[in-house]
């Protein structure tokens, strides 16, 4: 520990510099090599990173693209999903999981979540399948895999494609099998706050199928093959060589980052228990995240459930004491203005709506110190002591 307990008086929600600074020289050298090579697109670092990610996810092919959002869009385009088709996905996720469906002209069908994991409910998926359903997009929310065994079975029975939104979950697995290798296509993001964070935007697609990989590459390159012959109306979406070069340095450390996130999560469990704050589901003050025993959780986020309408009050208390927190996500997608036409109302997806009212996220990045975690949990304990005193008075 570099910081003693007494020195810590604030905790940032996230500090990307803590992982980037120790690699500064190595990354700048890698960027300089790209600079000198002049190969700003299609450089060898891009295929090297694709190779690395395909091994990590245990798939045959990985295809770089410009962002996680583009990865999702390309996955739908490569399947020819469009008007008249339906795609099932959770409403409790980041916007990009849904916008890609509207963007290709297909219909979004929102499924409710399992309240324990916040991931899409397999039973809900099955109940929403119609003859028009072409695909389901499970999201491995906060770094924990959705129930991929059940989802794969349901999809197989109904002959629909599974497109995994693994934006928050690189390195995660379910029953020992990596995310990104369960579905037809996996979508990864290198947005700076993700577990493998780049220096801007970047994304990658994973697949076992050579045919699918070829299609993804075609759609990501204007549908052009050969040069100036356009077979499809594709888009321009590439992972540039600078991003790939920097990510190649960072991916060597991903296993360590993941282990550190897991250690931080375990420490939160201990600290909350020490403060008597963690009797989940029997009137405990806060509910700690549920860990699916089949999941290798990579902890992109650490979420609390704070009931009794105290969530926003607790958050303000933390903010006033310089402790970072965040709400992912305060407004479910089915209640967003841009999706009003889909006809969902308050109460349409009760578990999703309740989670959006109760969830609160704490700092969990790999370099978070023990002293910082102690301060976070002590401050939450103090909040509850004061709240109980107020209600007793
Ligand atoms: C971050 C994220 C995306 C989008 O990734 P970008 O690289 O930011 O475009 C998609 N889905 C989920 C669940 C995400 O968290």
SS3 360: strand
Radius of gyration of the chain (CA): 22
Residue nearest to atom 14 of ligand 1 (CA): 167
**Is it the case that residue 172 has pLDDT exceeding 70?**
yes
Is the distance from CB of 186 to CB of 179 less than 8 angstroms? yes
Q: Report the predicted TM-score, pTM, of the whole model to 2 decimal places.
A: 0.96
Helices 68-78 and 210-220: crossing angle, nearest 10°? 120
Q: 87: closest CA among 163, 148, 182, 144? A: 163
Q: How confident is the model at residue 1 (pLDDT cuts 50, 70, 90)?
A: very low
Assigned token pair, 375: 């301060």
Average pLDDT, integer, range 112-120: 98
- Cα of 271 from ligand 1 centre, angstroms: 31
Summarised one tens digit per residue, pLDDT across range 237-284 is 999 999 999 999 999 999 999 999 999 999 999 999 999 887 644 455
For residue 279, the model assigns a pLDDT of 60
Q: Return the percentage of the chain with pLDDT > 70, whole number.
A: 97
- Cα of 203 from ligand 1 centre, angstroms: 9
Summarised one tens digit per residue, pLDDT across range 329-377 is 999 999 999 999 999 999 999 999 999 999 999 999 999 999 999 999 9
Torsion of CA 44, 47, 50, 52, to 10 degrees: -60
Q: 78: closest CA among 163, 159, 138? A: 163
Is the distance from CB of 74 to CB of 237 less than 8 angstroms? yes
Phi-psi region of 167 (alpha: psi -120 to 50; beta: other; left: phi over 0): alpha
For residue 392, the model assigns a pLDDT of 77
Q: Among 42-51, 62-71, 104-113, 302-311, name the one with the lowest average pLDDT.
A: 302-311
Assigned token pair, 221: 């390159």
Mind telling me the catalytic residues?
Answer: 194
Average pLDDT, integer, range 57-65: 98
- Cα of 376 from ligand 1 centre, angstroms: 27
Whose tokens are 């790209």? That residue is 34
| For ligand 1, mutation pick of 69, 203, 235 (most atoms within 8 Å of CB) | 69
- Mean pLDDT (the chain) is 95
For residue 281, the model assigns a pLDDT of 42
Pocket lined around ligand 1, Cβ cut-off 6 Å: 67-69, 93-94, 96-97, 139, 165, 167-168, 189, 191, 201, 203
- Cα of 201 from ligand 1 centre, angstroms: 10
For residue 250, the model assigns a pLDDT of 98
Residue nearest to atom 5 of ligand 1 (CA): 68
Q: Given the CA of residue 191, which atom of ligand 1 is nearest to it?
A: 7
For residue 7, the model assigns a pLDDT of 79
| For ligand 1, mutation pick of 64, 65, 96, 185 (most atoms within 8 Å of CB) | 96
| For ligand 1, mutation pick of 89, 91, 93, 97 (most atoms within 8 Å of CB) | 97
For residue 376, the model assigns a pLDDT of 98
Domains and CATH numbers, the chain: 19-251 (3.40.640.10), 254-392 (3.90.1150.10)
Residue nearest to atom 6 of ligand 1 (CA): 68
For residue 23, the model assigns a pLDDT of 98
Summarised one tens digit per residue, pLDDT across range 120-134 is 999 999 999 999 999
Q: Given the CA of residue 140, which atom of ligand 1 is nearest to it?
A: 13
Q: Return the percentage of the chain with pLDDT > 90, whole number.
A: 92
Assigned token pair, 182: 């369960």
For residue 391, the model assigns a pLDDT of 77
- Cα of 369 from ligand 1 centre, angstroms: 27
CA 131 to mean position of chain CA atoms: 29
For residue 139, the model assigns a pLDDT of 98
Average pLDDT, integer, range 100-108: 98
Average pLDDT, integer, range 82-89: 98
């Amino acid at each position: 520990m570099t910081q003693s307990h007494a020195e810590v008086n604030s905790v940032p929600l996230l500090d990307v510099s803590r992982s980037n600074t120790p690699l500064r020289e190595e990354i700048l050298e890698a960027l300089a090599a790209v600079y000198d090579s002049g190969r700003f697109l299609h450089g060898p670092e891009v295929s090297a990173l694709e190779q690395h990610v395909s091994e990590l996810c245990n798939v045959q092919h990985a295809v770089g693209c410009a962002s996680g959002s583009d990865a999702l869009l390309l996955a739908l385009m490569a399947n020819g999903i469009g008007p008249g088709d339906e795609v099932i996905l959770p409403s409790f996720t980041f916007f990009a999981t849904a916008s890609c469906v509207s963007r290709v002209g297909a219909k979004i069908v929102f499924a409710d979540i399992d309240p324990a994991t916040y991931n899409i409910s397999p039973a809900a998926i099955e109940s929403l399948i119609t003859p028009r359903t072409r695909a389901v997009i499970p999201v491995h929310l906060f770094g924990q895999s959705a129930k991929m065994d059940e989802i794969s079975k349901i999809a197989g029975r109904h002959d629909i494609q599974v497109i995994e939104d693994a934006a928050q979950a690189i390195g995660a697995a379910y029953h020992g099998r990596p995310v990104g290798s369960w579905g037809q296509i996996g979508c990864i993001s290198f947005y700076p706050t993700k577990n493998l964070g780049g220096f801007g935007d970047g994304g990658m697609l994973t697949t076992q199928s050579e045919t699918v990989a070829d299609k993804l590459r075609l759609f990501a390159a204007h549908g052009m093959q050969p040069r100036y012959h356009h077979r499809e109306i594709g888009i321009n979406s590439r992972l540039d060589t600078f991003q790939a070069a920097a990510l190649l340095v960072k991916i060597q450390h991903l296993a360590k980052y993941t282990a550190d996130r897991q250690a931080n999560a375990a420490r939160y469990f201990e600290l909350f228990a020490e403060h008597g704050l963690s009797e989940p589901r029997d009137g405990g003050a806060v509910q700690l995240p549920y860990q699916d025993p089949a999941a290798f959780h990579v902890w992109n986020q650490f979420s609390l459930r704070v009931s009794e309408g105290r969530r926003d009050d607790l958050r303000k208390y933390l903010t006033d004491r310089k402790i970072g927190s965040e709400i992912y996500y305060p407004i479910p997608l089915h209640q967003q203005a841009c999706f009003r036409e889909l006809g969902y109302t308050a109460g349409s997806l009760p578990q999703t709506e309740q989670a959006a009212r109760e969830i609160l996220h704490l700092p969990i990045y790999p370099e978070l110190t023990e002293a910082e975690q102690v301060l976070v949990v002590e401050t939450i304990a103090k909040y509850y002591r004061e709240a109980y005193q107020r209600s007793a008075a």
